[in-house]
Amino acid sequence: MSKLLIFSAPSGSGKTTLVRELMSRFPRLEFSVSATSRAPRGQEQNGRDYHFVTPDEFRRLVAEDAFVEWEEVYEGTCYGTLRSEIEAIHRRENTCVFDIDVAGGVRLKEIFGDRARSFFVQAPSAEELRRRLTGRGTDSPESIEKRLAKAASETARAEEFDHIVINDEVSRAADEISRIVAPFISRRVMLYFGSFNPVHRGHIAIAEHAIDRGLADMVVLVVSPQNPYKESDELAPEVERFEMAERAAAASRHPWLIQASAVELTLPRPSYTIDTLRFLQEQLPDTEFSILVGGDNAASMSGWREADKILGRYPIFVYPREGDDPSKFPAGATVLDDAPPLDVSSTEVRKLLESGREHYRAGDFGAAANDFARARELSPQSVEAAGYLEMIDEIFSFRNTDLMNP
């Protein structure tokens, strides 16, 4: 299914800058070049930044129904999204990117629904917006006043967008957007299930290897709450395991193509892989999921709940570990013989942590979450502990509005 990304903002917020940065990060994004009746400014090129047309030509295009939407964004100056642009980009199986005014962004989202993700880009303050417009040095003082006058009413519509992004610093804002864009546009997503207790560089090296070899567009570390086949005593609190995985992924060589998912922490328990797969597939019907497992887990896969359904539908990738018996791996699994060797294990890391030679820092609410999870372990009947953990689930769903992190 062809997808679209919509970026709107009051002029001067830095939307063009962010869109350029994103396009350099994701090769399958293609800019939808609008038509405009204004003259080129600065370094702008016809056909690259806009199709510059005369007011008469613009009216003719409107009459010919060449636009999906068009607006008189500023008095006497029209801009329009060409149907032909969207069609050509989708024919090349790329994702369309729109840099469009606020009213146009809302219209496109209405037209394309779930196929589109819309972003409202905001400067940190009104003063900063003025500074950027002046600093850009491309607009006359009157034009700057016109743009600023419009900014307040545009900002009032921010809530009509899927995401609001504060453009404080370009690379930070681009990271935030990238983490939303990657799962949305990825066709092949590799799910790396595990307790990540804790995550370590071996996990990340395997995930990086999968991306480098083009085995998937994206790798998701799915942090499991509790393996129904394992004793849970040794598990660190799940919120912390998730946060550690999230940070490790963000510090990887592919910070937006490798991500952690809290999906299993919010699904009913015990969590079985087949249930998670069903849930994700329902959320993302067009995504082709595959599964990445270590040799030890691969050998026991035939015993997983509804193993036939998992193995029948999802490609399995195995990274071999010392002492594995490859004859026990599921038939048809791809063994990653050239994967970097796992020279570290979670067990070793846990020993280091216990001996006090290593430590990790909990996140903002990690310490509190830690206590609630411990309280529930000590007293599974505790209504209070359950209540607090529910609240943490809510924080998760609020923080991670992504489909991978419902």
**Binding region for ligand 5GP (CB under 6 A):** 11, 34, 38, 69-71, 73, 79-81, 99-101, 104
Write the DSSP assignment of 133-173 as a string of letters. Answer: HHHH--S-HHHHHHHHHHHHHHHTTGGGSSEEEE-SSHHHH
Q: Give 366-402 as a 3 state SS string.
A: HHHHHHHHHHHHHCCCCHHHHHHHHHHHHHHHHHCCC
CA-closest candidate to residue 225, choices 212, 236, 234, 238:
238
Compute how many residues bind ligand ADP; rule: CB under 6 A.
Answer: 14
Burial class (CB in 10 A: 0-12, 13-18, 19+), 89: buried
Q: Does 11 bind ligand ADP (CB under 6 A)?
A: yes
Closest CB 317 distance from ligand 5GP, rounded Å: 42
Q: Does 16 bind ligand ADP (CB under 6 A)?
A: yes
CB-nearer residue toward ligand ADP: 136 or 278: 136
* DSSP H helical ranges for 306-355: 307-313, 346-354
Which among ligand 5GP, ligand ADP, none contacts residue 12 (Cβ within 5 to 8 A by kind)?
ligand ADP
Which among ligand 5GP, ligand ADP, none contacts residue 358 (Cβ within 5 to 8 A by kind)?
none
Parallel, antiparallel or unpaired: strands 188-194 and 34-36: unpaired
Q: How far apart are CA 307 and CA 300, in angstroms?
A: 10
Q: Which residue has the CB atom at the shortest distance from ligand ADP? A: 14
Closest CB 49 distance from ligand ADP, rounded Å: 11
Residue 366, number of CB atoms within 10 A of its CB: 17
Which among ligand ADP, ligand 5GP, none contacts residue 167 (Cβ within 5 to 8 A by kind)?
ligand ADP
CB-nearer residue toward ligand 5GP: 121 or 298: 121
Closest CB 136 distance from ligand ADP, rounded Å: 4
CB-nearer residue toward ligand ADP: 99 or 243: 99
Which among ligand 5GP, ligand ADP, none contacts residue 71 (Cβ within 5 to 8 A by kind)?
ligand 5GP
Q: How far apart are CA 391 and CA 385, in angstroms?
A: 10
Please provide residue 198's backbone torsions phi and psi, each rounded to the nearest 5 degrees.
Answer: -100, 175
Per DSSP, the chain holds a count of helices (H) and strands (E) of: 16, 15
Closest CB 99 distance from ligand 5GP, rounded Å: 5
Pick the binder of ligand ADP from 4, 6, 14, 319 (CB under 6 A): 14
Which among ligand 5GP, ligand ADP, none contacts residue 17 (Cβ within 5 to 8 A by kind)?
ligand ADP
For the segment 131-170, give every residue that binds ligand ADP (CB under 6 A): 132, 135-136, 167, 169-170
Taking the mean position of all CA atoms in its chain, how far away is CA 132?
28
Q: How far apart are CA 350 and CA 111, in angstroms?
A: 51
Closest CB 92 distance from ligand ADP, rounded Å: 25
CB-nearer residue toward ligand ADP: 100 or 404: 100
